[in-house]
Structure 1
Amino acid sequence: MIRLSSICILLFLAMGLMAQVRMSSAEISYLYNQENEFLVQHKVASSEDRVKVYLRFILNSGNVKISDYRISYDLRASYIDEKAVNSSVTIDSANVVDVAFRQYVYAFEFEKESNDNLIVIDFYNAARDKRFSLDIPLKIKDWTPASHLIFQANKDIPYFDKYINKDFPIRIVNVFDNSDSFEINGVNSNKNVAMPPFDDSDMQTASDIPLDTLYGVTNGEEFRFYNNGFHTIRSSSQPEKELGIIVTDEVHPYFDNYRDLIDPLIYVSTNDEFKDMQAATDDREAFEAFVSNTISSNEQIGKDFIKYYYRRVRKSARLFSENQAGWKTDRGMIYQVFGNPAQVFRNESTELWVYPSSTGGRVKYIFDIVVEDGITKYKLIRDKRYRENWMRAVTQWRSGRIIE
């Protein structure tokens, strides 16, 4: 009953029937649009009632400058709580802890009250009178942020990306206690690729295979991961709190062999086609044959397919990586085939993506939000009604027409 009510609330809010001062009525699809005028990433650490937030704000367009924006935040008990009068706290140059080319990292810290479960950050482009909201949960069910974060090796700021390339230098830092130490364990990243949105059949979950590595590091000590896989980091001060990160090869999210290029084709190939490509002795020949025989014999159309399809794979890595590559996740699967959602709404337990339907109306995908192994995961609620729209989109890709 609780889950049904949550979904109903999301659908109601998505229709824009509630006041804009309520967070869940804010439209946050800009977070998944890599061409938005700015990009933003965040990291949060907490210890009891102390909370520290880091924001990485990237100017992504030559038509905007940092002075165009007014940034502020307020705290709320839930997504449906209205913003309290005079509750906004300004984030400005006094909060800047690092500056790079058209990039600014802000940090702010506060003591939260017992009912402060959500930070709402307001990005207001005063020059264009445009407003964007970012929701940062301080609690998801029983989960609260850990006190430690992955930091860059050469700067006193977090590592913001959702994956780490193997052999890249980093540090683990407890932002509240510099005497902390950490234990890091890894498993092979062998999770199943997301099934299509209409396929709700139970797949046997791949067993985790522990990596033959165990790292022990002190607070702020520089080290590198030498094995691909999903790693969890526990601190001695909060052993119950995990922080998860996927470690990839050095070129990820780019490709250095044709075998890796074949894998994402699972969404636009038939079962037999995909099995034949996997079994081929010459990966390059199999890949090129699929593009020329299935997508188009026209060289330019084939090049466009490769350009746009694999650019989306790279975007998924930055946006949706969890305990596996971004394109393999539920959100990555939807994004790979359909592109940027037209609208996105979120509350404590679900996220709603809205797309226009090719036959009129709208198609809505709902993801359950859970925290497992120290990372937030989004699990699609599958339904048979998605089949027709999915097959139509796949057919379009296979005909050499790009979905943008």
Structure 2
Amino acid sequence: MKNNIGFLIAVLAAVFSGCSSSQAPSRQIPDAQVRAMGMAAAEAPDELALLAVKSQYLLQDSTKTRVFLYVDAYKGKQRMSVSEFLNSYNLNYVIYSDYGTRDRLGYGNVKLSTENVAVQEKKLVIQFEFDSPKRESGVLLSELSQIGTLKKVLNDLTIPFKQQQTNDLYAVFPSATQFPLERHFVRTNETVRLLNLEKSSQPLQVFYYRHDFDPAGSPMNTSPKAASKTLSVDSIFTIQSTQELQFTREGLYNIFADTTQKEGLGLLVVNDRFPKTTQPELLLEPLLYMSTNTEINEIQKAEDYKKALDTYWLTLMNGNAPLAKQTIQNYYARVEDANALFTTYKEGWKTDKGMIFIVLGPPDKVQRSKDKEVWTYNQRGNAQNVNFTFNRRNNQFVDDHYELVRYAEYQPIWYPVVEAWRNGIIR
């Protein structure tokens, strides 16, 4: 075993592959969108596939809305070029008054060209604009359809047309690019700008929190939640929108154009390797979802984290180093994907969605409504058609914070899958 010490941890520095896609909608249902995550790339060399579509909006004022679609697009196993996409897809949209209704507030076709489609962070980004309906809010349903086929991908986006909070008006843009980031995090020393659609220079108030948020609790823990911990502001400072910024301190930043408002633009600043997890101290934390308290405490007390982690994995796999290596890759690939998909005001692996995703993998379908998401697994552990419900909750930092509805009845589903991880059976 001594010869294996150190080599397993080196595995974690590799580039992990995985389903780092978002949820890809499969068909239109006016009261909800059914989506699948973790779709595989097209097998045929020239087959076109849109693996995932994410979206966000910016309000210019109460009359104009701009939408950005971030598309994981492939031709075979290669990413699709802008020209290939433009020659192969159409985009149209419908605005409904709410989920569960067919009350249409507007609709239109988007003419796609190199003026509104480009590549950013390996994804195709599409932007389009429309006149905001004279309503408090609505649900935008965007449809990307492949020309000459019946294939289409849908994306739904709730837009509060009259809300006008900071995160409705401002977004984080990489330096010298025309599209905002699709993520809630930036890396230390990454150069960004905070912009509104008018690109006007305005003072913004920033509240910095140096706080380590707790990971998600067990899905079986139905005990009443403890009182929320008080968040202390570490520092407050002012920045100017449009100026180039680099955040050097990791932590949570909440940005306000108007400090009388309750909700700001939450931004998590992370290390330059994120969403990957490679530092030994950080590798330990996500193991709590498949480990006992005793195992975690023993690693924490160890003088050599790397050696303790090696020993942990090799012990679980009965000294089978190749199996330990594969299990490490599988587990931390899930952690990386959870960070990429679900990071909000805290790292994605710490969220309720991230916990379920890491242990159980991508759901077989996701059903969304205005205030909740339901993830369905066709079969996990000893059960079939298992549902996990996430309720959307108000949050001062982000507008997509979800909390899991916990049940003691998850126990016969959860523990067999955790045991499968500990035996190296998960692939």
Query: What TM-score does the superposition give when structure 1 sets the normalisation length?
Result: 0.86
Residue in 1 that maps onto 2:233: 210
What residue number does 1:39 align with?
Answer: 52
Q: Which residue of 2 aligns with 1:399?
A: 423
| 2-structure distance, mates of 1:140, 1:175 | 15
Does residue 53 in structure 1 map to residue 73 in structure 2? no
Q: Deviations over 1:49-75 (max 9, x none)?
A: 321112222324536641332222111
Retained in 1: the 8 A contact 2:317–2:423? yes
| Structure 1 residues 218 and 85, CA gap change in structure 2 (3 angstroms) | closer
Whole-Å separation in 2 of the counterparts to 1:287 and 1:102: 33
Q: Residue 95 of structure 2 contacts residue 105 of structure 2 at CA under 8 Å; is this kept in 1?
A: no
Query: For 1:354-380, what per-residue CA distance to the aligned partner results, in whole angstroms no more than 9, with x for missing partners?
Result: 002343531000001124123120100
Total equivalences in the alignment: 382
1:27 partner SS: strand
1:158 to 171, 180, 195: 180
Deviations 1:271-306 (A, max 9, x none): 111111122221011101110001342111100011
Secondary structure at the residue paired with 1:93?
Answer: coil
Following TM superposition, where does structure 1 have runs of at least 4 consecutive aligned residues deviating by more than 6 angstroms? 140-144
Cα pair 1:23 1:120 within 8 Å, conserved = no
Q: Secondary structure at the match of 1:354?
A: strand
SS in 1 for 2:234: strand
List runs of 5+ in structure 2 lacking aligned partners: 1-26, 42-48
Shift of 1:233: 1.0
* Change over 3 Å in CA distance of 1:342–1:306 after alignment to 2: same
- Sequence identity, in percent? 21
Q: Is 2:155 the counterpart of 1:134?
A: yes
In the alignment, residue 62 of structure 2 is paired with which amino acid?
A: E
Amino acid aligned to 2:322 = Q
Indicate conservation of the 8 Å contact 2:91/2:142, yes or no.
yes
What is the one-letter code of the residue matched to 1:52? R
Q: 2:17: which partner in 1?
A: none
CA distance in 1, matches of 2:372, 2:361: 20
Corresponding residue for 2:410? 386
Name the residue aligned to 1:74.
94
Q: Which residue of 1 aligns with 2:169?
A: 147
Q: Residue 18 of structure 2 aligns with which residue?
A: none
Where do 1:173-322 residues align within 5 Å?
173-176=195-198, 178-201=200-223, 202-203=225-226, 205-212=228-235, 214-236=236-258, 239-322=261-344
In structure 2, relative to structure 1, the CA distance for the partners of 1:137 and 1:84 (3 Å cut) is closer
1:125 pairs, out of 107, 124, 146, with 146
C-alpha change, 1:311 and 1:91, in structure 2 (3 Å) is: farther
Q: Distance in 2 between matches of 1:60 and 1:39?
A: 10
Determine if the alignment matches structure 1 residue 28 to structure 2 residue 35: yes
- Which AA in structure 2 matches 1:42? S
Say which is worse superposed, 324-333 or 39-48, in terms of deviation.
39-48
CA distance in 2, matches of 1:255, 1:303: 15
Whether the 8 Å CA contact 1:197–1:386 is kept in 2: the answer is yes
**Kindly tell me: are residues 299 and 134 of structure 1, through their superposed partners in 2, closer, same or farther at Cα, counting changes over 3 Å?**
same
User: Structure 1's 141 and 277: CA in aligned 2 closer, same or farther, altered over 3 A?
Assistant: farther
Whole-angstrom CA distance in 2 between matches of 1:240 and 1:263 = 31
Deviation at 1:402, TM superposition (A): 1.1
Structure-2 separation of matches of 1:264 and 1:101: 26
String of CA shifts for 1:123-149, please: whole Å, max 9, x gaps.
Answer: 223455222211110139978652111
Counterpart code for 2:425: R
Structure 2 CA distance, aligned partners of 1:95 and 1:230? Answer: 34
1:162–1:317 CA contact under 8 A, matched in 2: no
Shift of 1:231: 1.0
Counterpart Cα distance in 2 of 1:106 and 1:154: 17
Q: Distance in 1 between matches of 2:178 and 2:161?
A: 27
Which residue in 1 is equivalent to 2:4? none
State the TM-score, normalizing by the size of structure 2. 0.82
3-state DSSP of counterpart to 1:160: coil
Deviates more, 1:41-50 or 1:58-67: 58-67
> How far apart, in 2, do the equivalents of 1:296 and 1:252 lie?
31
Mark the CA change 1:291 to 1:138 in structure 2 (over 3 Å): closer, same or farther. same
Q: Is the 8 A contact 1:232 1:245 kept in 2?
A: yes
Does residue 1:93 correspond to 2:100, yes or no? no
Q: Structure 1 residue 310: deviation in Å?
A: 0.4
Give 1:78 deviation, angstroms. 0.7
- Map of 2:401 onto structure 1: 377
Which residue pairs with 1:354 in the alignment? 376
User: Structure 2 counterpart of 1:178, which letter?
Assistant: S
Separation in 2 of the partners of 1:129 and 1:91?
Answer: 19
1:107 aligns to 2:107 (yes or no)? no
Secondary structure of 1:210's counterpart equals coil
CA contact (8 A) 2:91 2:112 kept: yes
What secondary structure does 2:309 align onto?
Answer: helix
Summarize the Cα distance change of 1:324–1:25 in structure 2 as closer, same or farther, 3 Å threshold: closer
CA contact (8 A) 1:188 1:208 kept: no
CA RMSD of aligned residues (A): 2.7
Shift of 1:162: 2.7
Partners of 1:235 and 1:160 in 2: CA distance:
20
Structure 1 counterpart SS, 2:413: helix
- Once residues 193 and 287 of structure 2 are traced to their aligned partners in structure 1, the CA distance between those partners, rounded to angstroms, is 36
CA drift of 1:219 comes to: 2.4
